[in-house]
Chain A
Amino acid sequence: MSGRVIVITSGKGGVGKTTTNANIGTALARAGKKVVMIDTDLGLRNLDLLLGLENRIVYTIVDVVEERCKLKQALVKDKKNPNLCLLAAAQTRDKSAVTEEQLKDICETLKKDFDFILVDCPAGIEQGFQNAVAGASEAIVVTTPEMSAVRDADRIIGLLEAKEEIKSYKLLLNRVRPNLVKTNDMMSVDDVVEILSADLIGIIPEDTGIITSTNKGEPIVNDDKSLAGKAYRNVARRIIGEDVPFLNLEEDTSVMGKVKKFFSGLMGKEK
């Protein structure tokens, strides 16, 4: 088996890298793929929290690198899905505890046993970013329709393009608020895609369910009713290679919206 190593990065902090990582990883595992997630945010680890695995971590990536344990011992299995594993970051060390070469080696070893290796990248463009990208051949750039996030994403794209190992990168637009887009108060998906001129892999609507799911340590893809969950499941299907159309977020789901749609449908038929 030769797995795909995908780094999830953004430049700016707080746009939803870790949330994206947890959800795409869980969705891929639900689709029957063997998935391992690596948290490279040394000193500021959070992926374990989003997955509800914080109490199960015995060894971290630093323990693996410093040979206090074997790589397999450090992989924490998910509560629900045996296909899903986490290699946690150390909370007590800084970014220099792991080097680019060491991360590359870990990725190479994990490739043999897993279909997907998702690398959660820290914010910023310093050594932490360089480390996270080192072992990857694909990248997902997470951004939101805000100026600072788009600007940082542009910077990250520039850095990724300069890296030979990165064969392709895709854009994931997070926290889109259709109501604000409709009133021209927020940049639309098309605006961001045009400005960054990058291929899109997903559009995730803003969803208050993310907050509760984080609080529970339960990724939102496990909630079949959530729109954001569905959007993340679609991203996972696109990663696998399925051709899935993007969700139409502009659709009015209110009662009045449905009435309007009904009537416009009738009018359309009369013509």
Chain B
Amino acid sequence: MNEIFTNLYNKVIGFFRQTEKEETSAKDVACNRLRVVLMQDRTNLTPELMERMRKELVELLSKYVEMDKEALELNLEQDGDQVALMLSIPVIRAKDEEEIQKALQESEEEKEKSEEEDSSEEETSEKDASEETNANDDSEKEENPQEKETQEEENTSEDKK
């Protein structure tokens, strides 16, 4: 009997608590909005810049871990006098050494490529040379997607294990 009553009591209390939570007060809305806007004011980081930073962080971190890219949260929070950058990353799976090495290699190749592109842009007078580098770029680009595919295949096979 006691159990039935305590269950009932908890349900009733739970119901009221839920309804309380749903209605956030005008004061809380004001506080939260102010915190966000003051963070931006203090750091000069606009929402666009924050989004760019988020994207770059996703790019960087996905070399090392496989994560839920959509769920990555990046927020500025105040802790007393200090402003902290809070990053929350839901990690799906840690990558093994090979994968990490591969990803690092890829990024390095990309870097070289972009450097080559830069130099080719500068050397517009020497048409032949730029054409050659462009040809190289194309071949590399074709290689990259293949690598990615193999990587994905590996991932899925591991998941199955």
Give the interface centre of B33, B34, B81 by most chain A CB atoms within 10 Å: B34
Report yes or no: B41 in contact with A195, Cβ–Cβ below 8 A: no
Given the known inter-chain contacts A154-B38, A155-B41, A158-B42, please indicate yes or no for A195 contacting B31, CB distance below 8 A: yes
* Interface contacts beyond A151-B41, A184-B28: sample of 13 additional A-B pairs, CB < 8 Å, sorted by A: A147-B30, A147-B34, A154-B41, A183-B25, A184-B26, A184-B27, A185-B27, A186-B27, A187-B27, A187-B30, A188-B27, A191-B31, A195-B34
Number of interface residues of A (CB under 8 A): 16
Mask of B19-40 contacts with A, CB within 8 angstroms, 1/0: 0000001111011011101100
Which of A155, A158, A184, A195 contacts B35, CB < 8 Å? A195
Give the docked Cα–Cα distance between A183 and B26 (Å): 9
Report yes or no: A187 in contact with B31, Cβ–Cβ below 8 A: yes
- Residues of B that sit less than 8 Å from A by CB: 25-28, 30-31, 33-35, 37-38, 41-42, 78, 80-81
Which of B25, B26, B34, B42 contacts A150, CB < 8 Å? B34
What's the least CB distance linking A240 to chain B, in Å?
28
Report yes or no: B81 in contact with A197, Cβ–Cβ below 8 A: yes
Contacts of A183 in B (CB 8 A): 25
Report yes or no: B31 in contact with A154, Cβ–Cβ below 8 A: no
Which of B26, B33, B37, B78 contacts A185, CB < 8 Å? B26
Report yes or no: A147 in contact with B33, Cβ–Cβ below 8 A: yes
Give the docked Cα–Cα distance between A187 and B31 (Å): 7
Mask of A146-174 contacts with B, CB within 8 angstroms, 1/0: 01001100110010000000000000000
Give the interface centre of B27, B28, B35, B41 by most chain A CB atoms within 10 Å: B27
- Residues of A that sit less than 8 Å from B by CB: 147, 150-151, 154-155, 158, 181, 183-188, 191, 195, 197
Main secondary structure of the interface of A (DSSP, over half): helix
Report yes or no: B25 in contact with A184, Cβ–Cβ below 8 A: yes
Closest to B27 in A: A184
Give the docked Cα–Cα distance between A154 and B41 (Å): 9
Give the docked Cα–Cα distance between A185 and B23 (Å): 12
Contacts of B42 in A (CB 8 A): 154, 158
What's the least CB distance linking B42 to chain A, in Å?
7
Give the docked Cα–Cα distance between A187 and B41 (Å): 20
5 A-B pairs within 8 Å (CB atoms) are namely: A147-B30, A150-B34, A154-B38, A184-B27, A197-B81
Contacts of B38 in A (CB 8 A): 151, 154, 195
Give the docked Cα–Cα distance between A85 and B54 (Å): 57
Contacts of B25 in A (CB 8 A): 183-185
Contacts of B33 in A (CB 8 A): 147
Give the docked Cα–Cα distance between A184 and B37 (Å): 21
